[in-house]
Structure 1
Amino acid sequence: MGDERTTIASIGIDGFNLALPQGTGVATYGMALAQAVRSLGMPLHGLFGVPIGRDPRLREILFYEAMGRGMPPRRAPRWLRPMLDRVSVARGLRVAEVEDSGRIEREGFVDRLPRFDRLLSSAHLFEQAEHHFRRTRRFLDLELPDPPTIMHWTYPIPIRVAGARNIYTLHDLVPLKLPFATLDRKRFYHRLVERCVVEGDHIVTVSEASRRDIIELLGAPEAGVTNTYQHTPMPAALADEMVDVEAVFGVKPDGFFLFFGAIEPKKNVARLAEAFLSTDTPHPLVLVGGRGWQKDEELRLVEAAQRRSGASGPRIIQLDYLPRRLVMQLVRAARAVLFPSLYEGFGLPVLEAMQLGTPVITSNRASLPEVAGEAALIVDPYDVSALSAAIARIDRDADLRSKMRQAGLAQSARFSLGEHRRRLHALYSGVLAAPPR
C-alpha cells in the first residue's frame, strides 16, 4: 500500500445517494469509494444538497437531522420550484461548510456516512442543478471555497466544480439498454449521460460490460473511460455479532433461499418466483426489498403463493426494506442467494454473497458473469426452466454448495479494498497527468 499513498490530491464525492435514508446500491458504492480514497491517504471532501440554514451553530445539527429523518420538504409548491431555482442559480448558490464539533452522536451513521475531512452543503443543490440542466442543457458551474483537486461524482449529476477535475461514474446504461424496465425519462437521461462524456475530464464505470456500453452507445473515446470495478464495505458490527435469524425472521440458518434488491422489472422477480415455485424444495424463498414500480405485476405469483401457504408455512416470505446490517446477516445464513437480474452495471448482491461464503445463482447478462466468474451457477434469466433446475440442483447437492462457498470466497478477493484502491490510484494519477477540459 505504501507506493499508492499520496497526499498530492484531495478528492470530493457527492452525497446525492448517501443522503437517502434507505440507501441504494450507489450509496454503497459511495461508501466504498470513500473508504478507498481514505486508504490512499487523500483528503476526502463531501458535497451534499442538505438545507443547513444560515446560523453556523445549527449547521451540523440540521445536517444530521436530515441524514436521520430524511430531507425536509421544500416549502414552495412544485410548480414554482424551477423558477425559484433559476433565481438562486443566477444570484450564485450559497455553499456552507459543516464543521465537525465532535458533539453529535454519529454511531448510528457509521455504516452509511463516510468520515469526511471536509463537509460542504448547499440547500437542494442537486434539484437546482437538474432544473438548470433542463432549461439550459448545460451543467451548473459551482464555485467552492478551496475546491478538491478531483471531484468524483458517484452518479450522473449535471454539475461541474470550478477549479477541479470533474469525473463522473456511470454505473450502467440500463435506461438505454432496457428502456422498458425503468421509469427514467429517456430523452433527458440520454442527454445527461452524453453531456457527462462531453463535460467530464474522465468517465468511470464499474465493469467491462458497462465500459463497452458507454463507448458504443455514447461514443465516448476508449481512453476516456476507465473501469475500476469496486469493493463492498461490510457493516462494522457484522464480524462481531451473529443474529438469530430463526428468532428474528422465522427461518433457519441454511434453511432458506434469499433474494435482496429493489422489486422492479429488471430484477426479474416474477420469473424468479415462477421458477422457485416449480421446485419441490421445502426451504422457503425470502424476498427482501422495497417495492418499486410495476410491483403488482412482479409480485402477483408471490402474493398468490402467500395466500395458499401450507402447514409448513409460506413458500415465499416477503420483507420490506431492512437495514443493510440485517440484510447481510440474512445473506450469511442463506442456503443460497438467487439474483437472476436482467441487467446490472456491477451486481453488488453477487459480490456480497460470495464475500460472506454464500452460494449464488445469477444470470448470464451484462456484468454479472464478470463478477461471479466460475464461482456461481449462471443461467439465462429469461429461461424459467433453467433457473428452476439450478435452484433444485443447488438445493439437493451439499457438496456443490460447499465447493461454491470456497470458490466464492476466492472470487470475491478479486474485488477487495486493495484492488479497488490500486485502480483508483491509477485513475486519479492519469486524470491529473492529462490536460484539464
Structure 2
Amino acid sequence: MSRTILYDGLNLSLKKGTGVATYARSLLTTARALGYHTGVVYGIQSNIPRDPMLREIVLFDDNAQQEGGSALSMTKRWLRRRIAAPFGIRPVPIPLNGTVILKSLKAQIGDAESLYAASDLFSLSRRHFKRYGGRLTMSFEKQPDLLHCTYPMPLAARKALNIYTIHDLVPLRLPYLTEDDKRYHYRMLRALVRKADHIVTVSETSRADIINVLGVEEKRVSNIYQAVHVPQALREKPEDMVADELAGIFRLDWKKYFLFFGAFEPKKNISRLVDAYLSAKVDLPLIIVGAPGWKGAETQQLIEEERFRFYLRERDRIIPQRRIQRFDFVSYPMLVSLIRGARAVVFPSLYEGFGLPVLESMQLGTPVLSSTEGSIPEIAGKGALLIDPYSTDDMRKALHSLANDDDLCLELSRAGPAQAARFSVDRYQKRVGTLYDSLFRGSF
C-alpha cells in the first residue's frame, strides 16, 4: 500500500508564485513520480462551507479570501482566533468533482490527489504558537503518513511523521534585510527543530547554518537541493519566434538587454545593481521583473528618477530612452523568453538559501552575473560570473565586461548548462526518494 504525503498550500495558493511555490510544486510532482499518494492542505480566509460542491468553488474563489461571512460565522472565527484552537483542528476534504474548470489553475494544486482546507489555517498556527508555544495539530479524514511543510510553520499532523523545510536563516543571520518578527521567528524555529522528525533544506550553506545557529544534530538535517524543469516547448522555441515576442511585447532586441527577475526586497541588492548599471554607462537597457515588497518603494523611487535620464538621437530629434524598465509580473512562458533573449541575467543577491534564478538562467544557456555570498557559489560553480555584491564598483566592471566581451558571454553560455545539469530533475528525484525512504524506514 502506497504511503500518503501531505504538503502545505501556503505558497501554492499565491497567483504570482515564489521560489518556495516552485519548490512545493517540484516536491509534489516528484513524490507522485516516486509512487506516493499526495495531498495539499490549504488555508482559506473565510468559513468552509458544509456543501461539498461549494467547498470546491470557494477554494478557487479569490473573493472568498477576503469575505468574512455571516455575523454568526464571524463570531465563531473571532472566538477561535482568540483561543487559537488549543485542541487542534480538523481540515475538511475538498472534493474535486469537475465543477470548477481547473485548466488555468493547475499550478495551485499541482499533482495532488487529495485537497483539504481549514479556515485561517496558517495565521491560526502562528497565533496558536504565540499563545501556547507549540505546534497547531491537525487530524484528517484519512490520516497522512507524513506531513511535509515546505516552509517553516508551527503545524503538525497527528499520528504522522512531521518534517519541515527551512530554506535559509536570513531573518536571523541578516535581520536588517527582512521584515519578519525576529523574536517569533527565532522561538518558532527553535521549537520546530526540537519537535520535528526531520529537517530538510536546499543547500549545504543553509544546512551548515541550521546546524551551527539552531544547534541541530547533523544527522537530523538533509540537503536535497532543488531542481528546475523548463518545459521542452519553451526551451526549444525557435530563437526568431522568441525575438519577435520580445520586440513586439517589450520592444527589446535579442541579446541586447540585461535582466533581473525575483523578489523586490532588500536582500536582492537591487539598489546597488541600479547604481552599478548607471555608472557602467552601457547602451543595453536593464529590465527588472518583480513587484515591490518590503522597502521596495525606496528602490522604485530610484528607478523612476533615473529611467528617463538617457536620451537617444534619432534623425533630428532627441527622444527619451527607457534605460531601466520594470514589470511587476510576467507570465512564466514570457519570463522564459525574457531569460533566453537577455545578454545576461544579473542576480547580485546578498544572501540566498539556493538561488533559483541563477539555476534557471544557466539551464537556458544565458550568461549569469551573481554573488559570492550565501549559497550562490555552491549552485553556480564555474557556470556564472560571481562578484562581491557589496562592491558597486565590482558590479559595474562586470556589467561593462558582459556588455562588451562576446567571448566572455559565449564562455558563460556554454558553462552554465553543464553546471545546471548537476541539479537535474533525475538527480533531484533520487535525493527526494532517498529522504522519504529513510524517513519511512526510520533510518534517521
**1:65-121 deviation line (CA, Å, top 9, x unaligned):** 24xx67234468999966432457257534211112134321212344302111111
Match of 2:395 among 387, 393, 417: 387
Is the 2:84–2:128 contact (alpha carbons within 8 Å) kept by the matching residues of 1? no
In 1, Cα distance between the equivalents of 2:77 and 2:405? 58
Residue equivalent to 2:205 = 209
In 2, Cα distance between the equivalents of 1:376 and 1:236? 23
For 1:413-428, list aligned pairs within 5 A.
Answer: 413-428=421-436
Matched residue of 1:194: which SS?
A: helix
In 2, Cα distance between the equivalents of 1:279 and 1:113? 44
> Mean alpha-carbon deviation: is it higher for 146-155 or for 171-180?
146-155
Matched residue of 1:22: which SS?
A: coil
> Mean alpha-carbon deviation: is it higher for 70-79 or for 347-356?
70-79
In 2, Cα distance between the equivalents of 1:323 and 1:87? 41
For 1:75-90, list aligned pairs within 5 A.
Answer: 83-87=79-83, 89-90=85-86
Is the 2:138–2:156 contact (alpha carbons within 8 Å) kept by the matching residues of 1? yes
Query: 1:325: how far off?
Result: 2.8
Q: Does 1:115 align with 2:111?
A: yes
Is the 1:8–1:42 contact (alpha carbons within 8 Å) kept by the matching residues of 2? yes
Q: Does 1:33 align with 2:27?
A: yes
Residue equivalent to 2:172 = 176
In 1, Cα distance between the equivalents of 2:403 and 2:76? 56
**1:339-372 deviation line (CA, Å, top 9, x unaligned):** 0000000001001111111110000001001111
In 1, Cα distance between the equivalents of 2:96 and 2:75? 36
Match of 1:327 among 335, 338, 344: 335
Q: Relative CO higher for 1 or 2, CA cutoff 8 Å, sep ≥ 6?
A: 1
In 1, Cα distance between the equivalents of 2:160 and 2:352? 30
**1:247-297 deviation line (CA, Å, top 9, x unaligned):** 111211211100011221100001001111111321100011010121233
Matched residue of 2:310: which SS?
A: coil
Is the 1:375–1:408 contact (alpha carbons within 8 Å) kept by the matching residues of 2? yes
Is the 1:111–1:235 contact (alpha carbons within 8 Å) kept by the matching residues of 2? no
In 2, Cα distance between the equivalents of 1:142 and 1:124? 13
> Mean alpha-carbon deviation: is it higher for 77-86 or for 113-122?
77-86
Point out where structure 1 has 5 or more consecutive residues left out of the alignment.
Answer: 1-6
In 1, Cα distance between the equivalents of 2:321 and 2:20? 35
**1:10-58 deviation line (CA, Å, top 9, x unaligned):** 2111101111222111111111111111111111111111254111121
For 1:46-61, list aligned pairs within 5 A.
Answer: 46-50=40-44, 51=46, 52-61=48-57
Query: 1:230: how far off?
Result: 0.8
Match of 2:381 among 373, 383, 387: 373
Matched residue of 1:147: which SS?
A: coil
Matched residue of 1:57: which SS?
A: helix
Distance 1:388 1:78, change over 3 A: farther
One-letter code of the match for 1:324?
Y
Residue equivalent to 2:270 = 269
Residue equivalent to 1:346 = 354
Matched residue of 2:129: which SS?
A: helix
Match of 2:437 among 417, 429, 435: 429
In 1, Cα distance between the equivalents of 2:173 and 2:331? 30
One-letter code of the match for 1:27?
A
TM-score, normalised relative to structure 1: 0.92
Question: For this pair of structures, how many residues does the alignment match?
Answer: 428
Matched residue of 1:310: which SS?
A: strand
Point out where structure 2 has 5 or more consecutive residues left out of the alignment.
Answer: 313-319
Is the 2:339–2:364 contact (alpha carbons within 8 Å) kept by the matching residues of 1? yes
For 1:134-213, list aligned pairs within 5 A.
Answer: 134-213=130-209
In 1, Cα distance between the equivalents of 2:418 and 2:2? 34
Residue equivalent to 2:408 = 400
Is the 2:90–2:139 contact (alpha carbons within 8 Å) kept by the matching residues of 1? no
Matched residue of 1:58: which SS?
A: helix
Query: 1:138: how far off?
Result: 0.7
Residue equivalent to 1:4 = none
Distance 1:80 1:53, change over 3 A: closer
Distance 1:237 1:134, change over 3 A: farther
Query: 1:299: how far off?
Result: 3.3
Match of 2:16 among 18, 22, 45: 22
One-letter code of the match for 1:126?
F
**1:286-339 deviation line (CA, Å, top 9, x unaligned):** 011010121233234322211423126121111112233322221111110000
Q: Identity percentage over the alignment?
A: 40
**1:214-269 deviation line (CA, Å, top 9, x unaligned):** 00110011000000001123368634755501111121121110001122110000
Match of 1:359 among 343, 367, 377: 367
In 2, Cα distance between the equivalents of 1:169 and 1:292? 23
Is the 1:270–1:300 contact (alpha carbons within 8 Å) kept by the matching residues of 2? no
One-letter code of the match for 1:287?
I
Residue equivalent to 1:294 = 295
Matched residue of 2:53: which SS?
A: coil
Is the 1:10–1:150 contact (alpha carbons within 8 Å) kept by the matching residues of 2? yes
One-letter code of the match for 1:366?
G
